[in-house]
């Protein structure tokens, strides 16, 4: 039914790919791509025989927009799932625009080095002006909105757990349990305190557990109003 190209073959990527394979009637063809192709090949070997999805692998540096664009044009997927590292988000979005491919990710963009002297002052100033408590927000990716609209493409951001699953929980609560909701507080184990590690010490590993204190964007379908 559809072809998906997955960028990233780490812990999160492996789980996402396995889930896609469990829905082989939807994801009939899956290409696993990473800088380390051997990891992709190992995962392919583990999954083949357990799914009817056709799995291929490829080597690509997600920061190399030209190479990723070429891979997208060659494989021609219906959608790209980005489960690579967050600092690669913008390059991957650029490649999707070049190749005309829908885009999904699980974590907000952040620079590779938050202490980069060219980058840090920008966010220090931004946090002070906007009252942010975190260095990470979706404004870098929201800036692509007009480009994706002009290309007739959809970019679906933050489809991990938080944001992601928590968005679904919130929408479900509004639809089924409340007449109206004005604010929702979401706690990531540490109560939103950016100075402490999560209690099970995954802070360094999972970027999609960062608190993003910016305004949320969502779509609500209600009769004929969107």
pLDDT at 197 over 50: no
121-150 pLDDT tens trace: 877 787 788 776 666 677 789 889 999 999
Higher-pLDDT residue of 128, 155:
155
| pLDDT in the model for residue 44 | 97
Which sign, positive or negative, has the C-alpha torsion 151, 109, 142, 168? Answer: positive
- Nearest residue to 43 (alpha-carbon basis) of 10, 72, 84: 10
| pLDDT in the model for residue 188 | 61
92-120 pLDDT tens trace: 999 999 999 999 998 888 878 877 777 77
Q: Which two tokens stand for residue 114?
A: 């938050």
Band the pLDDT of 205: cuts 50, 70, 90: very low
Asked if the bond preceding 163 is cis, omega within 30° of 0, the reply is: yes
Q: Which of 5-14, 163-172, 186-195 has the highest mean pLDDT?
A: 5-14
Record the pTM. Answer: 0.75
Q: How many CB atoms lie within 10 A of CB 118?
A: 8
Distance CA 44, CA 54 (A): 10
| pLDDT in the model for residue 140 | 81
Asked if the bond preceding 175 is cis, omega within 30° of 0, the reply is: no
pLDDT at 209 over 50: no
17-67 pLDDT tens trace: 999 999 999 999 999 999 999 999 999 999 999 999 999 999 999 999 999
Phi, psi of 4 (to 5 degrees): -130, 135
Distance CA 26, CA 4 (A): 10
As a whole number, the mean pLDDT across the chain is 82
Cβ partners under 8 Å of residue 191, min gap 6: none
């Amino acid at each position: 039914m559809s072809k998906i190209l997955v960028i990233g073959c780490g812990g999160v990527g492996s789980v996402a790919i396995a889930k896609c394979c469990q829905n082989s009637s939807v994801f009939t063809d899956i290409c696993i791509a990473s800088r380390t192709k051997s990891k992709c090949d190992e995962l392919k070997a583990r999954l083949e025989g357990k799914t009817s999805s056709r799995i291929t692998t490829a080597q690509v540096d997600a920061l190399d927009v030209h190479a990723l664009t070429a891979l997208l044009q060659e494989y021609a997927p219906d959608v790209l799932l980005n489960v690579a590292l967050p600092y690669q988000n913008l390059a991957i979005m650029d490649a999707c625009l070049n190749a005309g491919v829908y885009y999904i990710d699980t974590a907000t963009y952040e620079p590779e080095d938050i202490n980069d002297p060219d980058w840090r002052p920008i966010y220090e100033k931004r946090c002070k002006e906007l009252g942010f408590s975190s260095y990470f927000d979706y404004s870098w990716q929201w800036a692509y909105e007009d480009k994706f609209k002009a290309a007739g493409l959809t970019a679906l951001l933050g489809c991990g757990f938080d944001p992601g699953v928590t968005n679904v929980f919130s929408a479900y609560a509004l639809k089924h349990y409340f007449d109206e909701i004005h604010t929702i507080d979401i706690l990531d184990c540490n109560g939103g305190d950016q100075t402490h590690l999560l209690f099970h010490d995954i802070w360094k590993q999972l970027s999609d557990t960062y608190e993003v204190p910016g305004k949320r964007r969502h779509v609500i379908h209600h009769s004929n109003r969107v």
